[in-house]
Amino acid sequence: MIAEEVSKISGENPFACFQCGDCTGSCPVSFAMDYGPRRMIHLIQLNLEEEVLKANTHWLCASCYNCTYRCPRNISFTRISYALRNISVKRGIYPNKTTKIFYEIFLDHMLKYGRFNEGIFVREFVAKGGKGLKELLRDINLGLKLWKKGKIPKDVDKIDKLDQIKKIYEACVKEEKEDKQ
Amino acid sequence: MKVGYYPGCSLKGMEDAYSISLISSFKVLGIELVEIEDWNCCGASVIPSYDYKFANALAARNLALAEEQNLRTIIAPCSECYNRLAYINYKMKNDAGYMEKMNKILSEAGLEYRGTVEVKHAVDFLVNDFGIDKIKEKVKNPINKKIASYYGCLFVRPREISVESAENPKTMDSLVEALGGTPVDYDGKTKCCGASLVVSNEKVGLQTIKNVLDSIKETEAEIIVTSCPLCHANLDTQQLTIEKEFKVNYMLPVMYFTQLLGLALGLSEREVALNKNLTYEVLKV
Ligand code: SF4
Ligand code: SF4
């Protein structure tokens, strides 16, 4: 059940919501969402999994915590959004190719360097087709301006104890497997 | 005075103007920043989207390192980093069960966190711990301009880690005043710039940034100051893109609060890396 899964990951209780709509009213991105946070929570309460995962809401969420700050029932839709993305990613559902490439490179950097490596990111992102041609040309233009200013994406050092990051990751993956059993 | 320092990936990368100006201006004030050795990425908003638990454990590793290195207070200048670290710190300190769960994961990497570290945003530390009066004493070149402080989201929300009221924050405005500037009031102070939406959904991302710029344009502000590399990149770097895409004209120079601070303290533009801002030239017209 989607409601249960969301609770488990986020620690939030969607059933505490009394549908006041403060969250949607406060959301800076609701204008572009299929359903605002309030309606999304309602769908979760009803366990309409397909409807929930199909929506673009959680992908457009900018994690600004406006909804969380204003909710009279102390629910964080921000964290619910994170949970919905976790669930989607595990099933290979992404809103678009750009996001998929962005996420995959980021996680890879985390495990390979322990940090996000802008320099390598830009190269990989372009090579994997994360940008359309029109945006790419515009960005190259912008890139030149940045470069003139000495504002170039740098390769950061990787951390010394990378094995710790790997062990932490493995521990999280293992816990999840045990949870499922 | 020494204080622990968590720079985060942005400040080590393209947004190094923030770290350069932070270090140079804090030095004038006699504050030495001690970087946490071997810190890792806070996870930003991507790792929590991928695996919420892993992201939280990554934040916890940084806290464990700071504790091991005897850093009682650490400052995080990036609001996203601040948010991630401060929230996990809050959770672990206030929820014994959660502390135990996190430590179980950390123990796999030979680490432990007991909850002795305090995480502060750089602005909060400067204004509320170091103190406005001490800053005022050192001002050499008062900044005689109207200034819009843009707070963004992540150091005023969520409540557990909020530095002050998210409805009408004042911290940066009081700093601006101390530096000789005139703060301008506007209703977009904590409106969201969309963070990394501009990467994952450009159309919506540009619109959210535009909403913030529009609300500042309505005021008489001559400069925007920021306190987060993401906000900064959005308002500064993307300002030119938005001007083109939406056929609008802002001409609003953006700078980090640390750049404004450094200039007021008598540092040169170079010492605060001012020319790295894309809107730098606008300042000159
Ligand atoms: S603000 Fe809270 S209680 Fe109101 S609709 Fe949103 S989640 Fe539900
Ligand atoms: S955190 Fe997400 S859902 Fe909540 S108000 Fe911000 S953008 Fe909207």
Any chain A CB within 8 A of the CB of B189? no
pLDDT tens for each residue of B88-123: 999 999 999 999 999 999 999 999 999 999 999 999
Q: What percent of chain A shows pLDDT beyond 90? A: 73
pTM: 0.96
C-beta separation of B277 from B15 below 8 A:
no
C-beta separation of B181 from B140 below 8 A:
no
Residue A147's pLDDT is 78
Provide the pairing of β-strand B32-35 with B2-5.
Answer: parallel
In order along its 285 residues, chain B shows pLDDT tens digits of: 999 999 999 999 989 999 999 999 999 999 999 999 999 999 999 999 999 999 999 999 999 999 999 999 999 999 999 999 999 999 999 999 999 999 999 999 999 999 999 999 999 999 999 999 999 999 999 999 999 999 999 989 999 999 898 989 999 999 999 999 999 999 999 999 999 898 888 899 999 999 999 999 999 999 999 999 999 999 999 998 999 999 999 999 999 999 999 999 999 999 999 999 999 988 877
Domains contained in chain A, CATH given? 2-91 (1.10.1060.10), 97-180 (no CATH)
Q: Output the DSSP codes for B77-110.
A: -SHHHHHHHHHHHHHHHH-HHHHHHHHHHHHTTT
* Span A99-120, average pLDDT: 93
pLDDT tens for each residue of A22-34: 999 999 999 999 9
- Architecture of domain B139-282 in CATH? 3-Layer(aba) Sandwich (3.40)
pLDDT tens for each residue of A56-78: 999 999 999 999 999 999 999 99
Q: In the predicted model, is pLDDT for residue A38 greater than 90?
A: yes
Instruction: Report the separation in Å between the CA atom of A75 and the middle of ligand 1, taken as the mean of its atom positions.
Output: 7
SS3 (DSSP) at B119 = strand
CA distance B148 to B169: 12
Interface predicted TM-score (ipTM): 0.94
The three-point CA angle B238-A114-A106 to 5° equals 45
Cβ-defined contact of A114 to B41 (cutoff 8 Å):
yes
CA distance B194 to B231: 8
Q: Omega of the bond prior to B158 within 30 degrees of 0, cis?
A: yes
Instruction: Report the separation in Å between the CA atom of A85 and the middle of ligand 2, taken as the mean of its atom positions.
Output: 14
- Name the residue with tokens 């770097």: B237
Domain with CATH 3.40.50.11810 in chain B: 139-282
The CATH number corresponding to B2-121 among 3.30.930.10, 2.40.110.10, 3.30.365.10, 1.20.1050.140 equals 1.20.1050.140
Indicate which of A9, A30, A154, A161 best probes the interface with B, i.e. most B CBs within 10 Å of its own CB.
A161
Q: How far is CA B204 from CA A29, A32, B45, B192, in A?
A: 8, 7, 17, 12
Provide the pairing of β-strand B118-121 with B32-35.
Answer: unpaired
Cβ-Cβ contacts under 8 Å, B19 against chain A: none
Helix or strand (DSSP H, E) at B147: strand B146-149
Q: What percent of chain A shows pLDDT beyond 70? A: 97
Confidence of residue A133 (pLDDT cuts 50, 70, 90): low
Q: In the predicted model, is pLDDT for residue A154 greater than 80?
A: no
C-beta separation of B86 from B130 below 8 A:
no
Instruction: Report the separation in Å between the CA atom of A20 and the middle of ligand 1, taken as the mean of its atom positions.
Output: 5
Q: Count CB-CB contacts under 10 A for residue A133.
A: 8
Residue A100's pLDDT is 94
Domain with CATH 1.20.1050.140 in chain B: 2-121
CA distance B189 to A114: 33
Alpha carbon distance, N-terminus to C-terminus of chain B = 39
Nearest ligand 1 atom, CA A19? 5
Q: Which of residues 63-122 of A touch B (CB under 8 A)?
A: 63-66, 68-69, 76, 78-79, 82-83, 85-86, 89, 95-96, 98-99, 102-103, 106-107, 109-110, 114-119
Cβ-defined contact of B166 to A69 (cutoff 8 Å):
yes
